[in-house]
């Protein structure tokens, strides 16, 4: 099995005596999946907290079902045959595109929420946590790309943010922009979680993979 060298902090259960240790591909994939699962879970909690905050403001925002969230360059396979056709390279590059796309919008979201008069601390803490963990996930995906694909650092063309994610002038537009960011990030966080689970199944279970 492929492996990557890690620092002693990556191997708390091993006596490395200050030397490096070996992290298996299975462990790397497991950590990536766990990261993605936690990010998605916290994104769901963040949306619920934002909904509660809007209610306290006497407001109700609704984003219609089927709303397209950026980036549109990462389509979601809809059928089993489509899923079977996508490559591991496509999965890794798609997750990397999603992670890199959302790094700056999450930083902007955090800054915007800090300007609210009565934003719950739980929402502020979660937005900060998601921003930090997303960067960690991006770094993990780059390691997986080197391990699985044998590629070095990638210069991917990350789609530009849509106008919904840009700073707005009025209070209502700011709320709508922030709500849209949370709504869309939650959808893309679910994509990342699903893609990484599929990749782990393919890489570890191989012929016995029955993820779909």
**Residue located via tokens 């998601």:** 130
The reported pLDDT for the residue numbered 39 is 98
Q: Above 90 in pLDDT, residue 106?
A: yes
List, in sequence order, every residue forming a beta bridge with 23; answer none if it has no partner. 4
Confidence check: pLDDT of 211 > 90: no
Is 130 a member of any domain? yes
- pLDDT at res. 16: 43
pLDDT digits (tens, 9 = 90+) for 125-181: 999 999 999 999 999 999 999 999 886 555 455 555 543 444 345 778 888 889 999
- Domain holding 198, by residue range, is 25-61+78-153+169-205
Report the distance separating Cα 19 and Cα 204, nearest Å.
27
Residue burial 11-25, b: 16+ Cβ < 10 Å; e: rest: beeeeeeeeebebeb
The mean pLDDT of 3-18, rounded to a whole number, is 45
pTM passes above 0.85 = no
Would residue 109 count as lying in a domain? yes
In a domain, 103, yes or no: yes
Q: Determine, yes or no, domain membership for 160.
A: no
Q: Evaluate whether residue 72 is within a structural domain.
A: no
Residue 4 is assigned to a structural domain of this protein = no
How high is the pLDDT of residue 68? 66
What CATH code is carried by the domain that includes residue 141?
A: 1.20.1250.10
Using the predicted structure, report yes or no on whether residue 201 has a pLDDT greater than 50: yes
> Residues 59-77: pLDDT tens digits?
877 776 666 675 666 777 7
10 occurs within a structural domain:
no
Domain tally for the chain?
A: 1
**For residues 29-58, average pLDDT:** 94
Q: Which of 78-82, 139-143, 154-158, 204-208 has the lowest mean pLDDT?
A: 154-158
User: Taken in order 160, 183, 73, 128, is the CA torsion positive or negative?
Assistant: positive
Q: What pLDDT is attached to residue 90?
A: 92
Residue 29 lies in a domain: yes
């Amino acid at each position: 099995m492929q492996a990557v060298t890690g620092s002693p902090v990556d191997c708390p259960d091993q006596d490395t005596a200050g030397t490096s240790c070996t992290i298996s591909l299975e462990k790397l994939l497991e950590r990536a999946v766990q990261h993605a699962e936690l990010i998605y879970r916290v994104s769901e909690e963040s949306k619920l907290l934002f909904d509660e905050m809007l209610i306290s403001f006497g407001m109700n925002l609704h984003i219609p079902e089927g709303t397209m969230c950026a980036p549109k360059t990462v389509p979601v396979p809809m059928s089993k045959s489509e899923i079977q056709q996508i490559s591991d390279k496509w999965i890794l590059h798609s997750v990397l595109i999603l992670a890199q796309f959302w790094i700056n919008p999450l930083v902007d979201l955090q800054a915007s929420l800090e300007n609210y008069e009565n934003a719950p601390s739980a929402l502020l803490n979660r937005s900060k946590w998601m921003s930090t963990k997303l960067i960690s996930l991006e770094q993990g995906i780059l390691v997986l790309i080197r391990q699985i694909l044998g590629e070095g650092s990638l210069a991917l063309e990350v789609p530009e943010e849509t106008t919904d994610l840009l700073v707005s002038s009025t209070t209502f537009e700011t709320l709508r922009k922030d709500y849209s960011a949370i709504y869309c990030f939650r959808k893309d966080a679910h994509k990342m979680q699903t893609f990484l689970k599929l990749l782990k199944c393919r890489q570890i279970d191989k012929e016995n993979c029955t993820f779909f």
